[in-house]
Amino acid sequence: MLAKRIIPCLDVRDGRVVKGKNFEGLKDVNDPVRLAAYYSDCGADELVFYDITASAEGRKLFADVLKNVARNVFIPLTVGGGINTLEDFDRVLKCGADKVSVNSGAIKNPSLIAGAAEKYGNQCVVLSMDVKRVNGQFVVFSHGGRIQTPLDAIEWAKFGQTNGAGEIVVNSIDTDGVKGGFDIEMLKAVCDVVSIPVIASGGAGGIQHFIDLFKSVNVDAGLGASIFHYGETNIRQLKMALKDAGIEVRL
């Protein structure tokens, strides 16, 4: 049976991993290459590697940092941040990424999803969305969650799937950094309308939150950052607890 995936996310700025509550007050945590190798060794199923400042400031990911991660990590690696064109896809795939995550770049140019899926295959294209409730509606935000767009998250998820996205990451701005649990309501709303894998992001504060997540909604993976970076939760212990709770995981 397919295992539920646990995915540490490495938000990177200037070659260092950062993570802050609600995207504010970024704090330097660790070296991405060391952290990636550590996570791979302790049982992470996949890694997501975001340049969180790239969309806002037009920064490009540094190829050598990516390559060093890919040389040390033999699990799937997703790279995002500043992906606006097919050339950006090409650039990070050549550095060892397996999947490329598009967010603001796809909002600016929605045809990027279909173009990349055609060129690199659906499995390569991850649609990542930062979503917040506005007047009772799930609304997509761009630029690291700073700018509200006119896009309805449910419609955007459907558009992504129809145009060839192979996976969707749903990051709830409402629960991100709060450590009060994943946004089950928002995730259910997305899972109800798509048949491709959905990755839950935003809100993980402890082991029980992952158990609640997988018990309540048919997501394929749970993503976390600070919960892992600060050593609050050990991935191996988390996976043992999931297994004890009857959830299929890779141990």
Partner 1 sequence: MIAIVDYGVGNLFSLSSSLKKIGAGCVVTNDKAQIENAGGVILPGVGAFGDAARKLKDSGLYDYIKIVAAQGKPLLGICLGMQMLFDKSYEYGEHQGLGLIHGEVRPLSQYVGRLKIPHMGWNSLKIIKQCPLFKYTSDGDYVYFVHSYCGVCADKSDLAATTDYGAAVTAAVSEGNVFGMQFHPEKSGEVGLKILKAFAELTEERV
Instruction: State yes or no: residue 124 binds partner 1 (CB under 8 A).
Output: yes
Q: How many CB atoms lie within 10 A of CB 111?
A: 9
SS3 content of the chain, % helix, strand, coil (to 5): 40, 25, 35
Site for partner 1 (CB under 8 A): which residue of 40, 53, 128, 233? Answer: 40
Instruction: State yes or no: residue 75 binds partner 1 (CB under 8 A).
Output: yes
30 burial via Cβ count (<10 Å: 0-12, 13-18, 19+): middle
Q: Which residues between 97 and 116 bind partner 1 (CB under 8 A)? A: 97-98
Sign of the alpha-carbon torsion through 220, 226, 229, 234? negative
Catalytic residue status for 130: yes
**Minimum CB–partner distance for residue 250 and partner 1 (Å):** 4
Three-class SS state of 88: helix
Q: Which two tokens stand for residue 2?
A: 């397919």
User: Measured between alpha carbons, how far is 136 from 233 in angstroms, rounded to an integer?
Assistant: 33
**Minimum CB–partner distance for residue 98 and partner 1 (Å):** 6
Candidates 9-17, 55-63, 88-96, 234-242 — which segment interacts with partner 1 by CB under 8 A?
A: 88-96
Nearer to partner 1, 67 or 146 (CB): 67
Instruction: State yes or no: residue 74 binds partner 1 (CB under 8 A).
Output: yes
Total residues at interface with partner 1 (CB under 8 A):
32
Q: How many CB atoms lie within 10 A of CB 28?
A: 11
Catalytic residues: 11, 130
Interacting residue ranges for partner 1, rule: CB under 8 A: 1-3, 5, 40, 45, 67, 70-71, 74-77, 93-98, 120-124, 166-167, 195-197, 220-221, 250
